[in-house]
Amino acid sequence: MAKKSKVKVPKKIMGFKLSKGTRKDLRKLFKMFSRPDTRTLATAAASGLAAYLAERFAEKELAAKARRSRPSHAH
């Protein structure tokens, strides 16, 4: 009998911790994709989305730091 491989979702992705509920939802989503090619495509899309969101978050944080570090001059 062939042993079914369990889908593993890491606790941290790009330094961000995923909650247990999120990891369970991702496992359910990946189980929906029965073919390995489809699963690989979905994983690549999710990785691309995570990278995009991380970049946007980093840009937003840098902009906020730049605004806070500027000295204000009273006229």
For the chain, give every domain's residue range.
35-68
Alpha-carbon distance of 45 to 61, in angstroms, equals 24
Tell me: pLDDT of 70 over 80. no
State the pLDDT at residue 71: 64
Q: Is 14 left (phi over 0), alpha (psi -120 to 50) or beta?
A: left
Summary mean pLDDT of the chain: 80
Which residues, in sequence order, are bridge partners of residue 47? none
Please give the torsion angle defined by the CA atoms of residues 11, 17, 21 and 26, in that order, rounded to the nearest 10 degrees.
Answer: -60
Write out pLDDT tens, residues 15-40: 888 889 988 888 888 788 878 888 78
State the pLDDT at residue 5: 61
Q: In this predicted structure, which of 1-10, 13-22, 34-43, 62-71 has the lowest mean pLDDT?
A: 1-10
Q: Which residues contact 20 (CB under 8 A, 6 or more apart)?
A: none
20, two tokens: 């247990």
Tell me: pLDDT of 48 over 80. yes
Read off the pTM. 0.48
